[in-house]
Amino acid sequence: MEELPVTENSAAADRVTAGTAKEGRAAEEVLDLQEVADREYKYGFVTDIEADTIPPGLSEDVVRLISSRKNEPEWLLDYRLRAYKYWLTMTPPEWSFVKYPPIDYKDIIYFSAPKQKKVLESLDEVDPELLETFNKLGIPLNEQKILSGVAVDAVFDSVSVATTFKSKLAEMGIIFGSFSDAVHEHPELVKKYLGSVVPHTDNFFAALNAAVFSDGSFCYIPEGVRCPMELSTYFRINSAGTGQFERTLIVAEKGSYVSYLEGCTAPMRDENQLHAAVVELVAMEDAQIKYSTVQNWYPGDKDGVGGIYNFVTKRGACRGDRSKISWTQVETGSSITWKYPSCILQGDDSVGEFYSVALTNNYQQADTGTKMIHIGKNTKSTIVSKGISAGRGQNTYRGLVDVKKGAEGARNFSQCDSMLLGDRCGAHTFPYIEVKNPTAVVEHEATTSKIGEDQIFYCNQRGISTEDAVSMIVNGFCKQVFRELPMEFAVEAQKLLAVSLEGSVG
């Protein structure tokens, strides 16, 4: 995403900071709530699968190598090279609220694939160790999940190794599989839409991704088709020092509908791992895309060592009239999250939604939000952001509501709520509003709250432990967002929040 500068005609509003709680007794109360987690990352293990890895560093040769390893057509190599050359002219963004040591892009391994090339007929053919890993993560690549109607395209260290339900979906004309496969099987579609929402010139990380993207998901819903199941992809970062550059593209043709789930876990690492994904969504006339994320990458340990840098560009284009794109995200992992799933509301009467829960504990930092660009007439957008900060976590909401001149009757409602646990964490809100059409109605609400010692005691007195009380109160705070998640994800998200908060309250 491009920079969100504080320009003169934008309203940079209420900035809320904790960490200087001067309220006397209240401050001491929260101090009691301040014992820091020393919990090991639940998913911290490394799989022993031999990876096909190229040496670290980035050059034109590496870009060519990635492309040739993947047997890519000439046009795609050209695309990568153009992006690479553009990236060389760029500098990393510095406007966000996150702090981290400069990344040495020469130290990163840009390609790694499990050594497993042949096409598989069934799960029986998959490396048992790989399956074991999926099981440890609770990834539902098993009968139960298949029976419950989830088609899983599991991306393991950048390359898809298993896809289920593909043929059933194919009968309906739905294409759902790895990005690499789509490049070979549906080059015309990929060529048409790749970079059409997030151009390679968009930002530093998007340019990097365009040059070196490894794999990801591709999804195409033909006209009038309602995808009968939630499409789900589980990402996982594995090989040490491997940057992850996922590329996802979802196209919903006229009158179609799709709900897409993305969930992630990563094993424990001491060095920081860079993740720079790009997700592009295109919704045509009357089409609807629901994109849900539960992000649980390794957040670093309690002292802030290790953890994933998650610098993602996600954007959807509501191209057709009455189209709708909803982003729902639950972000509990990563040491740094830099992410602004956005909607370009081009079509008249199109709708954009952003529902977000971002939790930062220990030394985690999150700078996340959305951009709603109103272009078409009577376009509507809703933003609901819930930020939870614990430990020394820093949580920033950064959002832009941009109503262009022609957007007659545009409407936006934004609600940004922050919850603080303890007084060493921080919550910050940067809502930017630019309105060029006088008929637009833009509303913004923001609140900041703390979990009080008296609430905890009240719960304790009814037999509820402090940890359960905190997770109950936090879940209540997030209800508005969880409601937007598909059922099984909502349950998972609640558990995740509880795990992420364990030990954050004394």
Spell 40-50 as b/e; 16+ CB within 10 A means b. ebbbeeebebe
State the SS3 of 116-179: CCCCCCCHHHCCHHHHHHHHHCCCCCCHHHHHCCCEEEEEECCEEEEECCHHHHHHCCCEEEEH
Minimum gap (Å) between residue 476 Cβ and other proteins: 3
Minimum gap (Å) between residue 466 Cβ and other proteins: 7
Considering only residues 220 through 249, tell me which ones interact with other proteins, judged by CB under 8 A.
Answer: none
Considering only residues 186 through 225, tell me which ones interact with other proteins, judged by CB under 8 A.
Answer: none
Q: DSSP secondary structure string, 257-315? A: EEEEEEEEE----SS-EEE--EEEEEE-TT-EEEEEEEEE-----TTS-S-EEEEEEEE
Nearer to other proteins, 142 or 455 (CB): 455
Spell 457-496 as b/e; 16+ CB within 10 A means b. eebeeeeeebbebbbebbbebbeebbebbbeebbebbbeb
Nearer to other proteins, 22 or 25 (CB): 25
Distance CA 435, CA 269 (A): 45
Nearer to other proteins, 443 or 468 (CB): 468
Nearer to other proteins, 45 or 458 (CB): 458
Nearer to other proteins, 439 or 465 (CB): 465
Nearer to other proteins, 116 or 455 (CB): 455
Of the candidates 220, 247, 221, 216, the residue with the CA atom closest to the CA atom of residue 233: 216
Minimum gap (Å) between residue 496 Cβ and other proteins: 18
Of the candidates 482, 479, 484, 506, the residue with the CA atom closest to the CA atom of residue 390: 506
Nearer to other proteins, 53 or 415 (CB): 415
> Number of H helices and number of E strands within the chain?
12, 23
User: Are 254 and 221 in contact, with CB atoms under 8 Å apart?
Assistant: no
Considering only residues 408 through 467, tell me which ones interact with other proteins, judged by CB under 8 A.
Answer: 452-455, 457-466
Minimum gap (Å) between residue 465 Cβ and other proteins: 5
Minimum gap (Å) between residue 452 Cβ and other proteins: 7
Minimum gap (Å) between residue 477 Cβ and other proteins: 5
Nearer to other proteins, 151 or 505 (CB): 505
Site string for other proteins, 466-485 (x = CB under 8 A): x-x---xx--xx-x------
Minimum gap (Å) between residue 492 Cβ and other proteins: 18
Distance CA 186, CA 189 (A): 6
Q: Token pair 């930092």 is at which residue?
A: 365
Nearer to other proteins, 381 or 471 (CB): 471
Minimum gap (Å) between residue 485 Cβ and other proteins: 17
Nearer to other proteins, 76 or 472 (CB): 472
* Number of residues lying near other proteins (CB under 8 A): 23
Distance CA 217, CA 102 (A): 30
Of the candidates 95, 92, 94, 91, the residue with the CA atom closest to the CA atom of residue 12: 95
Nearer to other proteins, 59 or 449 (CB): 449
Q: What is the DSSP letter of 107?
A: G
User: Are 270 and 306 in contact, with CB atoms under 8 Å apart?
Assistant: yes
* Cα torsion 80, 86, 89, 95: sign: negative
Minimum gap (Å) between residue 331 Cβ and other proteins: 19
Minimum gap (Å) between residue 191 Cβ and other proteins: 48
Q: Is residue 90 part of the contact set for other proteins (CB under 8 A)?
A: no
Contacts of 6 (CB under 8 A, 6+ apart): 12, 432
Distance CA 368, CA 370 (A): 7
Minimum gap (Å) between residue 480 Cβ and other proteins: 9
Considering only residues 16 through 75, tell me which ones interact with other proteins, judged by CB under 8 A.
Answer: 25, 29, 32
Q: Which residues bind other proteins (CB under 8 A)?
A: 25, 29, 32, 452-455, 457-466, 468, 472-473, 476-477, 479
